[in-house]
Amino acid sequence: MHRDSWQCYMVTFSVILFLVIVAIYISLTNGTFDMTVMDIIRTIFRINPVPEHDLVIFDFRLPRIVIAALVGFGLGVAGAAIQGVTRNGLADPGILGINAGAGAAIVVFMFFFQGQIKSTDWFSIMLLPLFGLAGGLGSAILIYMFSWKGGRLDSQRLLLTGIAIGYGLSSFSVYLSLKMKATDFEMAAVWVSGSIYNANWKYIIAMLPWLIILVPIIQRKAYLLDMFQLEETSIKSLGISVEKEKSILLLSGIGIVSACVSVSGSIGFAGLMAPHIAKRLVGIHHNQVIPICGVIGMLLVIVSDFIAKTVFAPIELPVGIVISIIGVPYFLYLLFKAKA
């Protein structure tokens, strides 16, 4: 890595990280119950703690911010990996139907365990990512089967197939949720839209191991994502097992997405926008792009969640809807740019 490139990367990373810290500060101090910086410092460092402040910070705001940051980071990294493997700048876990597959599996789980899923139930919380992984893998296999043409993965077919299967699975999720009890239906409906209003520390513990294991795998194989932009025959001539490495990267991306979906529902477009913004800022080398994608994803989800819970207060929008308001025009812009 050239010195100038490294300096550009570090400056960009530091600026985005600073913006993330500012977003966290604003989200912690503002809301229905406003708090000062000193209130937060006293509460966190246990200096004359006040029960009301403990409740607001440790039970409501901080878990929500941490989950928003982890989900945004995971979706940004997974989006970079999936776009790199498929060589398609329009690829995204949500658009390709992976979110929908993971979501459908979790709705099935909710359907069969109606009334038994509680935010305090360790068993169901730890099972949710596994069900999400099974659903994400199932949808990915279906998409792969229909997108395979002439012994290779067709990028255009991949996008169209992913959208079709995603809509089909989303419709199945809605149909199944309509057959639930009223209380469970409300939880499923809000969750499918993408929401982290029910965040707690157990959800964080459930998803954190997936990120700790799978994100380093993608980062370690970042150089392969650069090579995948070349012709497949050129890559094979270097002695690289292309299909094996693609499978590892895709499985890692799907695992991350499934863990995110299991705690936040289907949040789309974060994984689409983060890689494009990152490449505009630091170039096309994935060893730099992947960390930048992660922090951009964090910023997107934290800011969107703050908007979702404050702009229309006391009504709260699902964070997935807020990101979609930004993401849909951006997707159309990329689509027209690709055609041009």
Residue 121: the pLDDT is 65
Q: Is pTM, for the whole model, over 0.85?
A: yes
Q: What is the CATH number of the domain that holds 132?
A: 1.10.3470.10
Beta-bridged to residue 71, according to DSSP, are: none
CA within 13 Å, CB half, 161? 17
In this model, does residue 311 exceed pLDDT 90? no
Q: In the predicted model, what is the mean pLDDT of residues 136-144?
A: 85
pLDDT exceeds cutoff 60 at 280 = yes
Has residue 43 got a pLDDT over 80?
yes
Q: Any idea which of 119-123, 146-150, 252-256, 258-262 has the lowest mean pLDDT?
A: 119-123
HEC string of the chain equals CCHHHHHHHHHHHHHHHHHHHHHHHHHHHCCCCCCCHHHHHHHHCCCCCCHHHHHHHHHHHHHHHHHHHHHHHHHHHHHHHHHHHHCCCCCCCCCCCHHHHHHHHHHHHHHHCCCCCCCCCHHHHHHHHHHHHHHHHHHHHHHHHHHEECCEECHHHHHHHHHHHHHHHHHHHHHHHHCCCHHHHHHHHHHHHCCCCCCCHHHHHHHHHHHHHHHHHHHHCHHHHHHCCCCHHHHHHCCCCHHHHHHHHHHHHHHHHHHHHHHHCCCCCHHHHHHHHHHHHHCCCHHHHHHHHHHHHHHHHHHHHHHHHHCCCCCCCCHHHHHHHHHHHHHHHHHHHHHC
Number of domains composing the chain: 1
Q: How confident is the model at residue 120 (pLDDT cuts 50, 70, 90)?
A: low
> For 201-246, how does the pLDDT look when each residue is reduced to its tens digit (9 = 90+)?
988 998 999 999 999 999 999 999 999 888 777 787 777 888 889 8
> What Å distances lie between residue 26 and 38, 61, 65, 169, 197, CA to CA?
14, 11, 11, 37, 17
Mean pLDDT in residue range 30-57: 87
pLDDT band at 119 (very low <50, low <70, confident <90, very high): low
Residues 6+ apart with CB under 8 A from 36: 29
pLDDT given at position 58: 92
Domain span at 21: 3-339
- At 271 the pLDDT is 92
CB 268 within 8 A of CB 95: yes
Task: Look at residue 132 in the predicted model and tell me its pLDDT.
Answer: 83
Distance of CA 313 to the CA centre of its chain: 25
pLDDT band for position 288 (50/70/90)?
very high
pLDDT of 155 over the 70 cut: no
pLDDT tier at 111, thresholds 50, 70, 90: confident
Provide the pLDDT confidence category of residue 290 given band limits of 50, 70 and 90: very high
State the pLDDT confidence band at 49, using cuts at 50, 70 and 90: confident
Per-residue pLDDT at 114 = 62
Interatomic CA distance for residues 158 and 340, integer angstroms: 20
